């Protein structure tokens, strides 16, 4: 599960005052509310910014269930010498930030309730393009209210841009990050030269 910050959802009996925010833990991998079942084969962890308003899987969430996904870094892999080399990517100085996210509420016929989230992606900025063609949409803190607000979608679409590269940093990390069994500080340690 991942933490998300969102507007409280009155349709699912959540509290919260107008303009308030709720912190929730959600399943990573969006499950559309209309799905008959949860697909474990290929969870929808990313949503392309270019098609949010069109794709049935994301359209309703883009319209009314947007969220912030707090982070202090993310990983991408690049092929180097025939091997996939992981990179940790974040802000210079290690400051936390937030991805643009979409969330959904799903309920099975048996009554099982799941809230799930996907991260919105866009074309990579020039600094990250040598590593990967796409990157998560990272929102400027001044844009959080606009992303979470109830205003019309055209102003939100303008937020779906690559984050300024001058504020970002990246470095190689060890292969330890390739396994979900590892969740420790060694996953974010810079790779020593010669390893």
Q: Which CATH number do you get for residue 138?
A: 3.90.1680.10
Give the dihedral sign, CA 51/137/62/27.
Answer: positive
Q: Is residue 48 part of a domain?
A: yes
Number of domains in the chain: 1
Residue 176: φ, ψ to 5° = -55, -35
Q: What is the pLDDT of residues 63-93, one digit of tens each?
A: 989 999 999 999 999 999 999 999 999 999 9
Lowest-confidence range among 16-20, 100-104, 172-176?
Answer: 16-20
pLDDT in tens, 158-167: 899 999 999 9
Q: How far apart are the C-alpha atoms of 99 and 47, rounded to whole Å?
A: 12
Full-model pTM: 0.88
Residue 93 falls in which region: left (phi positive, over 0), alpha (psi -120 to 50) or beta: left
User: Can you state the percent helix, strand and coil of the chain, rounding each to 5?
Assistant: 20, 35, 40
Range of the domain at 13: 2-73+94-163
Cβ atoms of residues 94 and 88 within 8 Å? no
- Rounded CA-CA distance 176/195 in Å is 13
Confidence label for 10 from pLDDT (cuts 50, 70 and 90): low
> For the residues 37-42, what does the mean pLDDT come to?
68
Asked, for residue 83, whether it belongs to a domain, the answer is no
Residue 153 forms part of a structural domain = yes
Determine the Cα–Cα distance for residues 151 and 162; give it in Å rounded to an integer.
Answer: 22
In a domain, 180, yes or no: no
pLDDT at position 167? 93
d(C-alpha 181, C-alpha 137), whole Å: 27
């Amino acid at each position: 599960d991942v933490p998300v910050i969102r507007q409280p959802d009155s349709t699912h009996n959540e509290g919260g005052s107008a303009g308030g925010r709720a912190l929730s833990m959600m399943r990573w991998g969006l499950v559309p509310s209309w799905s008959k079942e949860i697909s474990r084969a290929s969870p929808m962890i990313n949503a392309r910014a270019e098609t949010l308003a069109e794709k049935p899987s994301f359209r309703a969430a883009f319209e009314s269930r947007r969220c912030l996904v707090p982070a202090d870094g993310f990983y991408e892999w690049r092929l180097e010498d025939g091997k996939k080399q992981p990179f940790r990517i974040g802000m210079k100085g290690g400051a936390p930030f937030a991805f643009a996210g979409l969330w959904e509420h799903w309920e099975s016929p048996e009554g099982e309730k799941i809230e799930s989230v996907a991260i919105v992606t866009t074309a990579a900025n020039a600094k990250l393009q040598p590593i990967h063609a796409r990157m998560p949409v990272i929102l400027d803190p001044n844009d959080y209210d606009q992303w979470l607000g109830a205003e019309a979608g055209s102003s939100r679409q303008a937020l779906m841009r690559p984050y300024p590269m001058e504020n970002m940093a990246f470095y190689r990390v060890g292969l330890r990050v390739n396994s979900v069994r590892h969740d420790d500080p060694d996953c974010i340690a810079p790779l020593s030269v010669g390893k």
